[in-house]
């Protein structure tokens, strides 16, 4: 009986969004009288940071500081249409819709500023700090605050825009069944190192090294947090979590979340995250969707590491000590 060490590798690609009849998302952007901007969506922030990213995308497109943008994820009764927050589609679909809406609002903003400065709108640019400047003559400028006041109370203009991003439905080819379910894919590879006690079946994950290709990281620190948390979640899926009791029958199962098996801080492996950026041609500023993919490659990597350590293949989750011991016993009897 011994502690055996193994290493496992797994690589995946993951579609951004889905295509089961078209995949649309809409967005609205409008200015307040004081020059702040409101983004209205029906896309829901589940804690992944969608509001922050949509604020960044809107601010970058209009040319204002991010803290001048407010994101309202209303609901399906009062907000513009969205298919939903799932399929790792939020940043890609909603982000593109916000860009369209923000561009339209920006154009109105520049037209109002042009009237105030008595120039052509095409001769204006923003400085990213809340001001609109005449190209080549930055001393001639006007604040976005003053432009918004003028639009509302003097010019009778609505600084607003509408955005609609749609991935058209992809129909299968009759002859081959081929179709295009997604316009871009993210990629990942994980290397996991484990120790397996071949007497007790206990698995200890030592290290998890992950490489993710996600298009472009619009907020690198938030991306890192998402990927690290997803990696830990995947280890929990691989080794711990289940709603089905298995010791030794259903009568011994947990009855609430206090008895739901999950790893604690001391069970988490040393985790490394490397992000590769290959901007997507149709992503907002090149972004893809890292959402669900972050918890995928670690599971087969751990399963492969267990196989490398003790020579048995466990193809049912979670990979419990009992299942490992049963597999070792079956292997020994053959």
Closest CA relative to residue 132, chosen from 67, 63, 36, 33: 63
Show me where the domains of the chain are located. Answer: 3-16+183-333, 25-165
Distance, in Å, from the CA atom of 95 to the CA atom of 287, rounded to the nearest integer, reads 9
Residue 158 and residue 141: Cα distance in Å, rounded?
21
The pLDDT, as a whole number, for residue 328 is 93
This prediction has a pTM of 0.88
Q: Is the pLDDT of residue 109 over 60?
A: yes
Strand, helix or coil at 3?
strand
User: Among residues 125, 272, 277, 292, which one is catalytic?
Assistant: 292
Q: What is the C-alpha separation between 299 and 290, in angstroms, rounded?
A: 16
Which residues have C-beta within 8 Å of that of residue 284, sequence separation ≥ 6? 57, 91, 92, 95, 96, 98, 99, 218
CA dihedral for 72, 75, 81, 85, sign (positive or negative): positive
Task: Give yes or no for residue 119 having a pLDDT over 90.
Answer: yes
Q: Report residue 80's pLDDT band, with 50, 70 and 90 as the boundaries.
A: confident
The strand order across the sheet containing 137-143 reads 124-126, 131-134, 137-143
The answer to whether 11 and 189 are in contact (CB under 8 A) is yes
End-to-end CA distance of the chain: 19
pLDDT band at residue 76, thresholds of 50, 70 and 90?
confident
Name every residue whose Cβ is closer than 8 Å to that of residue 259 and which is 6 or more positions away in sequence: none
CATH of 3-16+183-333, one of 3.30.365.10, 3.40.50.1220, 3.40.50.300, 3.30.70.930: 3.30.365.10
* Nearest Cα residue to 214 out of 294, 145, 154, 268: 294
CATH number of 25-165: 3.30.365.10
- The percent of residues above 90 in pLDDT, for the chain, comes to 63
Which strands form 69-73's sheet, in the order they lie side by side?
A: 69-73, 37-41, 23-31, 160-167
* pLDDT reported for residue 204: 95
Q: What per-residue confidence (pLDDT) applies to 20?
A: 66
Q: Which residue has the tokens 């995946």?
A: 12
Same fold: 3-16+183-333 with 25-165 = yes
Residue 286 half-sphere exposure, CB side, CA atoms within 13 Å?
A: 11
Q: What is the pLDDT of residues 315-324, one digit of tens each?
A: 999 999 999 9
Instruction: Please tell me the predicted confidence (pLDDT) of residue 248.
Output: 62
Active site residue 115: no
Q: In the 3-class helix/strand/coil scheme, how is 285-300 assigned residue by residue?
A: HHCCCCCHHHHCCHHH
Give pLDDT tens digits for 214-227: 999 999 999 999 99
Establish how many alpha carbons lie within 13 A of residue 11's alpha carbon, considering only the half-sphere containing its beta carbon.
4
């Amino acid at each position: 009986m011994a502690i055996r060490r193994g290493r496992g590798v797994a690589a995946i690609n993951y579609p951004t969004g889905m295509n089961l009849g078209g995949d649309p998302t809409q967005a609205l952007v409008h200015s307040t009288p004081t020059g702040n901007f409101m983004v209205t969506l029906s896309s829901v922030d589940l804690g992944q940071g969608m509001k922050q990213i949509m604020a960044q995308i809107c601010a970058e497109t209009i040319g204002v500081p991010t803290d001048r943008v407010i994101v309202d994820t209303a609901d399906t009764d009062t907000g513009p249409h969205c298919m939903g927050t799932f399929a790792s589609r939020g940043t890609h679909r909603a982000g593109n819709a916000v860009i369209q809406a923000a561009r339209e609002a920006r154009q109105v903003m520049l037209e109002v500023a042009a009237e105030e400065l008595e120039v052509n709108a095409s001769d204006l640019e923003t400085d990213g700090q809340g001001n609109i400047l005449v190209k080549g003559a930055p001393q001639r400028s006007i604040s976005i605050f003053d432009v918004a006041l003028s639009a509302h109370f003097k010019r009778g203009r609505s600084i607003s825009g509408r955005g609609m991003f749609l991935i058209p439905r992809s129909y299968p080819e009759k002859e081959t069944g081929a179709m295009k379910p997604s316009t871009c894919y993210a990629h990942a590879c994980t290397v996991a190192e484990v120790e397996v006690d071949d007497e007790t079946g206990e698995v200890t994950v030592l290290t998890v090294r992950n490489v993710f290709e996600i298009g472009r990281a619009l907020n690198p620190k938030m991306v890192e947090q998402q990927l690290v948390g997803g990696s830990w979640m995947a280890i929990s899926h691989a080794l711990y979590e289940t709603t089905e009791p298995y010791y030794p029958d259903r009568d011994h199962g947990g009855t609430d979340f206090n008895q739901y098996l999950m790893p604690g801080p001391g069970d988490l492996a040393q985790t490394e995250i490397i992000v590769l950026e290959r901007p997507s041609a149709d992503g907002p500023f090149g972004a893809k969707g890292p959402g669900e993919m972050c918890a995928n490659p670690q599971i087969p990597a751990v399963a492969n590491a267990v196989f490398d350590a003790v020579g048995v293949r466990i193809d049912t989750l979670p990979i419990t000590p009992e299942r490992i011991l049963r597999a070792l016993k079956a292997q020994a009897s053959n």
